[in-house]
């Protein structure tokens, strides 16, 4: 079969044939685990909210060899500067005021996540890579939130895999979003779009779908 990272040279109509060939072709990924992450943040359709704040922090730990989900970190976060969610934000994300009202602020949730990272990966000296749908989560939103909250961003957030680029490597086409990727891979969309945890589950399915085609993941952002 073709080597995994040159699949982009093959028309999409041949992918079903490649899928069957890849089912018996096990490849060794460069990481022990993938961490699928997708933030949701305060937003409005009438004005630009500044500063924008993370209100949902989900992360799924996926075994890089089996592509099975093993652990989940999931917290809702109470925004500080705009504590009242807008109707648009609730309609888009499905996050209602009660879901964030009595939750911790970002600094506390961020501390919990760092503890989770140490227990699950860092202390066990496991290699890992974050996986996002686009670069916004770790290139834009997290650095902005850390500046807003006046806290340090751990170095393990400095690199990640943009699943859109991985998808492009396999199919030769740049995806317009998560839903088109699922559709093209013939995967069912689960849950609610723009729910952070549901988006993570769908991104994890895309991650698995491409991996089962023999794709070897590499960092797309350092």
What's the pLDDT at 93? 98
Residues 6+ apart with CB under 8 A from 24: none
Residues of the domain holding 50: 4-211
- Per the domain annotation, does 137 fall within a domain? yes
123 is catalytic: no
What's the pLDDT at 27? 81
- Per the domain annotation, does 143 fall within a domain? yes
Residue 188 backbone zone (phi > 0: left; psi -120 to 50: alpha; other: beta): beta
Can you tell me the distance from the alpha carbon of 23 to that of 35, in angstroms, rounded to the nearest whole number? 24
What's the pLDDT at 2? 46
- Per the domain annotation, does 132 fall within a domain? yes
What's the pLDDT at 91? 98
Alpha-carbon distance values, 82 to 47, 49, 77 (Å)? 13, 8, 12
- Per the domain annotation, does 147 fall within a domain? yes
- Per the domain annotation, does 20 fall within a domain? yes
What's the pLDDT at 26? 67
φ, ψ of residue 59 to 5 degrees: the values are -150, 130
Please tell me the total count of domains within the chain: 1
Alpha-carbon distance values, 75 to 39, 60, 195 (Å)? 10, 12, 12
What's the pLDDT at 16? 52
Q: What is the CATH number of the domain that holds 177?
A: 3.30.420.10
Q: Which of 40, 53, 56, 120 does the annotation list as catalytic?
A: 40
- Per the domain annotation, does 17 fall within a domain? yes
- Per the domain annotation, does 220 fall within a domain? no
Q: Which of 53, 120, 194, 222 does the annotation list as catalytic?
A: 194
Strands (E), 93-185: 128-132, 160-162
- Per the domain annotation, does 29 fall within a domain? yes
Can you tell me the distance from the alpha carbon of 120 to that of 89, in angstroms, rounded to the nearest whole number? 32
194 is catalytic: yes
- pLDDT string in tens for the chain (222-residue length): 444 554 555 554 545 544 544 444 568 999 999 999 999 999 999 999 999 999 999 999 999 999 999 999 999 999 999 999 999 999 999 999 999 999 999 999 999 999 999 999 999 999 999 999 999 999 999 999 999 999 999 999 999 999 999 999 999 999 999 999 999 999 999 999 999 999 999 999 999 999 999 999 999 998
């Amino acid at each position: 079969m073709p080597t995994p990272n040159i699949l982009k040279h093959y028309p999409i109509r041949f992918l079903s044939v490649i899928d069957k060939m890849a089912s018996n072709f096990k490849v060794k990924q460069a990481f022990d685990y993938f961490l699928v992450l997708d933030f949701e943040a305060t937003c409005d359709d009438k004005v630009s909210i500044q500063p924008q704040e993370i209100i949902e922090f989900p992360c799924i730990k996926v075994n890089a060899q089996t592509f099975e989900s093993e652990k989940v970190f999931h917290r809702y976060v109470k925004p500080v500067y705009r504590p009242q969610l807008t109707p648009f934000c609730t309609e888009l994300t499905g996050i209602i005021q009660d879901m964030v009202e009595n939750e911790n602020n970002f600094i506390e949730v961020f501390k919990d996540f760092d503890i989770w990272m140490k227990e699950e990966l860092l202390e066990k000296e496991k290699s890992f890579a974050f996986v996002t749908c686009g670069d916004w989560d770790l290139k834009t939103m997290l650095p902005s939130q850390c500046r807003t909250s006046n806290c340090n961003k751990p170095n393990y957030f400095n690199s990640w895999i943009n699943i859109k680029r991985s998808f492009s490597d396999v199919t030769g086409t740049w995806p317009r979003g998560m839903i088109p990727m699922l559709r093209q891979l013939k995967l069912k969309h689960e849950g609610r779009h723009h729910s952070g945890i549901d988006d993570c589950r769908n991104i994890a399915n895309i991650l698995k779908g491409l991996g089962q085609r023999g794709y070897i993941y590499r960092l797309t952002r350092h």
